Structure 1
Amino acid sequence: MKTITSRDNAFYKEIKALATSSQARRKAGHSLLDGVHLCQTWLDLRGAPRHCVVSEGALGNAEVQAIVARCGAVNAPVTALPDALFNAVSQVEHGVHLLFVIDTPQPATPPALVMASVLLDGVQDPGNVGSILRSAAAAGVKQVYCSPGTAFCWSPKVLRAAMGAHFVLEIFEHVELPDLVRTAQIPVLATSGYAAEGLYTLDLRDPVAWVLGHEGQGVSTEVLELATHRVAVPHLGQVESLNVAACAAVCFFEGLRQQQALQA
């Protein structure tokens, strides 16, 4: 284990840039996992990180000790920072001071939609994106496609909101959704508060692709027109629509309910 004590250290500057700059993360092709849960889940599902960074104060924590030992067993570098330096790079308040630097997964985009999928069309809020990923993974969705205007899925806020869902999903970013929808080999269902077709009238027992749109503008007109179905989630009261993450969860788990009913 190495120890860094200077703010001028090149590696420390690199970590700080990754923690504070989306541009730096994209340019380097690296992301940060902050906290015991994300780091533990990465080890369990994906293996060794590129680098493990821990604060000196966290080294007495039993969970951190176990993770550091696992990193050593797979030859992942481990670096300790004084608590003051670590605080400047972590965005988690009152958390356990542990970070993984990972290579941001960048799978090749498949030529067509063929399995249970989610298409995010300009969803901008990182918390919404993370919540959608978490619900998608829990409902058995396999792939997520993000338009150029969607929040970067590997940003710290999205990672924290998704709670490890990234590691069981294939996530494709900067995808031109209209082209993808045109070649889809499964039904494409675009959500819209103004659609005439209700969610609970649909047969969702086979794989489908859900399209979820921008928090204010919804799914783009072009994608709406290309979709197999335009779907509304019925709701009571005088609110105009559901939050996009709530809408996603309702849709995903209605599909899961129908699939499990078929199996029973």
Structure 2
Amino acid sequence: MKHVSSRDNALFKHLKALTGSTHQRRKAGQSVLDGVHLADAYLAALGQPVSCVVSERHLDHPEVAALLARIDEQRVVVLADALFAQITGVVNGIDLMLVIDTPAGHLPARIDTDCIVLDGVQDAGNVGSILRSAAAAGIQHAFLGTGCAFAWSTKTLRAAMGANFHLNIVEHCTVEMLAPRLAVPLLATSSHADAALFDTDLRGPVGWVVGNEGAGVSAQWMALVQRTVGIPQPGGLESLNVAAATAVCLFEAVRQRRG
């Protein structure tokens, strides 16, 4: 194991840059998974990280020891407690994080399975929650358009709870890139819907277009949507949160397919 105790150490400077800046993570092509849960989920799904960073005080913690037993020892970096405190965003957690090469999504030549298209969803918590619901519902592909929150930001990863590792996530998608490849009907929620969600046949593969929190689905994407659906809201509130609405839609499809 490597032991780092100086703030002038090049590895520590790299870690501080990664944890402090989305721009640096994009530039380096690396992401940071802060905490035992995300680390465990990554190891189970995708294998070895670039490095595993742990504080001196938690090196012998039982949960840390169990994770370190699954990681090549030469990939482990032990940081002085004061240094680890400068790079973690987790309060009162276990001091462990993984540095990973950010998985590169691929754009299939033909998309004929369930997918979601995020059209300008700006809140990282919403993006993470949508990815979590999508992975839980068995969705394979998540296509994020320009203006969406970064799928590998700390906040998105925390909200997604490991879902990123089970999805093909492609960022910076445009209508021009996706439209010729889509071989599934596109649906979107709308307050002026063609039909109620629960009356819509969702037994076959579909693509869900998820719009911006305030503006909804853009006109460019709405022109390609074959059908809009509404979610009945007997409580009378104006609308659902975008992540909650997406979850309702995805799991209505799951319900219809159970038989």
Residues 192-211 of structure 1: pairs in structure 2 closer than 5 A:
192-211=190-209
SS at match of 2:33: strand
In structure 1, how many angstroms separate the alpha carbons of the residues matched to 2:119 and 2:207? 12
Residues 91-106 of structure 1: pairs in structure 2 closer than 5 A:
91-106=89-104
Aligned residues: 259
The corresponding residue for 2:217 is: 219
CA 1:238/1:178 → structure 2, altered by over 3 Å: closer, same or farther? farther
CA 1:193/1:76 → structure 2, altered by over 3 Å: closer, same or farther? farther
- 1:174 matches 2:172: yes
Which blocks of at least 5 consecutive residues in structure 2 are unaligned? none
In structure 1, how many angstroms separate the alpha carbons of the residues matched to 2:177 and 2:192? 24
User: Considering only aligned residues, what root-mean-square deviation do their CA atoms show, in Å?
Assistant: 1.3
CA 1:76/1:168 → structure 2, altered by over 3 Å: closer, same or farther? farther
In structure 2, how many angstroms separate the alpha carbons of the residues matched to 1:41 and 1:179? 31
Summarize deviations over 1:46-84 as a string: whole Å, max 9, x none.
Answer: 000001100011112111012112112xx6511111111
SS at match of 2:94: coil
CA 1:181/1:197 → structure 2, altered by over 3 Å: closer, same or farther? farther
Q: 2:230 aligns with which of 200, 224, 232?
A: 232
CA 1:254/1:64 → structure 2, altered by over 3 Å: closer, same or farther? same
The corresponding residue for 1:12 is: 12
Identity %: 50
The corresponding residue for 1:163 is: 161
Summarize deviations over 1:73-110 as a string: whole Å, max 9, x none.
Answer: xx651111111111111111111110100000112211
For residue 94 of structure 2, what is the amino acid of its counterpart?
V
SS at match of 1:161: helix
The corresponding residue for 1:137 is: 135
In structure 2, how many angstroms separate the alpha carbons of the residues matched to 1:200 and 1:67? 43
Residues 6-85 of structure 1: pairs in structure 2 closer than 5 A:
6-72=6-72, 77-85=75-83
Aligned-pair CA distance for 1:179:
4.2
The answer to whether the Cα contact below 8 Å between 2:32 and 2:98 also exists between their aligned partners in 1 is yes
CA 1:177/1:257 → structure 2, altered by over 3 Å: closer, same or farther? same
The corresponding residue for 2:2 is: 2
Aligned-pair CA distance for 1:160:
0.7
In structure 2, how many angstroms separate the alpha carbons of the residues matched to 1:189 and 1:90? 39
Which blocks of at least 5 consecutive residues in structure 1 are unaligned? none
